Every structure is written in structure tokens, then in C-alpha cells.
Amino acid sequence: MSESRSAFITGASRGIGLAIAKLFASKGISVTCASRTAEALDEVVSEIRAGGGKAHAIPLDVSNLDDFSRVISESVDQFGGVDILINNAGIVKDNLLLRMKEDDWDSVIDINLKGSFNGIKAVTPLMMKQRSGRIVNITSVSGMMGNAGQANYSAAKAGMIGLTKTTARELASRNITVNAIAPGYIATDMTSKLNEKVKEDLIKHIPLRRIGEAEEIAETALFLCSDAAGYITGQTIAVNGGLYM
Ligand code: NAP
């Protein structure tokens, strides 16, 4: 595949999405970086452009389907197409089920699960017309094994695995692959609030005895979007240091 490709990456203002945007841009892929915060995106895009990459910033709340469809068109105007969609935007609002508020359930489902549905829905007509595409959904180890305090998040992330398998089946005939990556604990803002004691206890359960890096998820995303992964679809690749096998 030539590197005139373009990727639309949600949640690219920091953490895993930022690492994916930087890695893809360094390989010559044009990147559209989306998240809710315009200022943070402008900084990301300036940094990528300063390094010689092609990048464009689009403020977006992924939970709004109309907005998602509109910004996909904007990305096509900018880079001539969308070859890759990375559904990475996500939030946590943790609490034990008995204390979890309905709003916290709704917003986590809306952003993680519905946001991924919206992305796939918005980009699919274009990819079907192109007769090619790569979609990568960033789910979580919590969606595979469950995690006390994350009923909303683990339900959303498990839902993304089902969404991945079904859309992979529906889109395969158009040469569109759909896969998921399930990170374990990765050093980003999302996990920075864990106190040191919790982190130490956590590491004891990780066979590789460390928290992962965002760049390690980005490398897996790059592989799934490469020619080498052309025969992989509907899969969930765990990148978790062995935490869950
Ligand atoms: P992060 O550092 O908190 O970054 C989350 C990103 O999502 C930010 O760019 C944020 O930007 C964006 N975002 C949040 N809500 C959004 C919305 N409604 N619309 C558009 N963008 C939105 O988190 P991260 O650790 O990089 O996580 C990235 C993905 O990996 C998430 O799906 C997360 O669930 C998953 N994951 C992370 C870990 C981990 O240990 N870090 C483990 C497993 C899975 P704005 O706030 O500016 O919108």
C-alpha cells in the first residue's frame, strides 16, 4: 500500500491517540486528529507538521453521529479520502455498580461504544465506494475480563468487541478489515490518577511486570493497518503484558 493514505484518529489530543497520530504521520500517512479540545489538537498538528508530517485538526464529540459524518467529509476535502479509521476516543467514570449514576453509565456508553458505531457508520459509505479500508477500535482488557468499578466501561468495551466482529463480517466483501486492540494498563492521563500503591499491586498481576506505553499500542495499530495484516479481520489483539490471556 502506498503511503498516500490518510487516517482519521479520534481522541488524538493526548495519550494513545496522540501516539498513533505521531507514529502514523512519521510513516507518511496523513492524519486527521479529532477530539473535543481544539487548542490541544492545534498543538498536536503543529508538532506533527514541524516534524514534516501531514496533519489536520478537527474538533469533534464522537457521540454525535451528524457531526461525525460532517467531519469525515471535511477530512476527505483535506486529504482526498479516508483509508483508515481509528476509534480511540474514550472516557472512564468508575464507580461500584451500587453507586454508579445513570449519567455515568450513559456518557461512558455514548462516547466509547456509540462513538465507535458513529465512526464506522460515518466512514463506511466512503470505504465501501473505495473498496478498501482499515478500521481499528481501541477496546480494553476490562471489556475482556471485567473489572470491579467499571460496569459502564467494561460493558462499552465488550460491546466494541461485538461491534468489531459484526462489522468485520459485514464489510469483508468490500475489502475493509475491522479489528480491535485491547490494551491493558497503559501510562496515559487515564491511568495517571491511580495512586502508587494501587499501581504497585497492579504490576504484581502483570506477568511482564510493568505498565505499558502508548507507543506500544500505536505499533499494533500500525501493524493492523499495514499490508502484512491484510488477512486479519474481526480480531481483538490483546496488548496487556500478559495480564489477561
Ligand atoms: P486519555 O489520555 O484520557 O485520552 C482520551 C482521548 O479521548 C483524549 O484525546 C480526549 O480528548 C478524547 N475524547 C474523550 N471524549 C471524547 C469525545 N466525546 N469525543 C472526542 N474525543 C474524546 O486516554 P487514553 O489512555 O489515551 O485512552 C485512549 C483509548 O484507549 C480509550 O478508548 C481508552 O478507553 C482505551 N484504553 C486505555 C487504557 C489505558 O490504560 N490508558 C487501557 C485500555 C484501553 P478531549 O478530552 O479533548 O475530547
Amino acid at 8: F
Centroid of ligand 1 to alpha carbon of 186 (angstroms): 11
Distance from C-alpha of 245 to C-alpha of 177, rounded to nearest angstrom:
24
- Inter-residue contact 104 to 93 (CB < 8 Å): yes
CB atoms within 10 A of CB 106: 14
Q: Which atom of ligand 1 is nearest to the CA of 87?
A: 32
Over residues 170-212, the pLDDT tens digits come to 999 999 999 999 999 999 999 998 889 989 999 999 999 999 9
Cell of 125: 459509505
Residues 6+ positions from 29 with CB-CB distance below 8 Å: 3, 5, 6, 7, 84, 225
Question: Ligand 1 centre and the CA of 200: distance in Å?
Answer: 23
C-alpha 137, offset from chain centre? 5
The per-residue pLDDT of the chain, averaged, comes to: 97
For residue 98, give the C-alpha cell: 451500587
206 with 228: CB under 8 angstroms? Answer: no
Other Cβ atoms less than 10 A from the Cβ of 4: the count is 13
Digit-coded pLDDT (tens) for 140-174: 999 999 999 999 999 999 999 999 999 999 999 99
- Ramachandran class of 149: left when φ > 0, alpha when ψ lies in -120 to 50, beta otherwise: left
Report the length, in residues, of the chain.
Answer: 245
Query: Is the model's pLDDT at 127 over the cut of 60?
Result: yes
Residues with CB under 6 A from ligand 1: 10-11, 13-17, 35-37, 40, 60-63, 88-91, 111-112, 138, 140, 183, 185-186, 188-191
Task: Note the pTM of the prediction, 2 decimals.
Answer: 0.98
CATH top-level class of 6-239: alpha beta
Segment 1-13, tens digit of pLDDT = 447 899 999 999 9
pLDDT at 3: 73
Active site residue 231: no
- Tell me the three state secondary structure of residue 242: coil
**Rounded to an integer, what distance in angstroms lies between the CA atom of residue 214 and that of residue 93?**
21
How many angstroms is it from 232 CA to the middle of ligand 1? 25
The SS3 call for residue 29 is: coil
Q: Which atom of ligand 1 is nearest to the CA of 186?
A: 40
In DSSP terms, 32 is beta-bridged to 8, 56
pLDDT at position 194 is 86
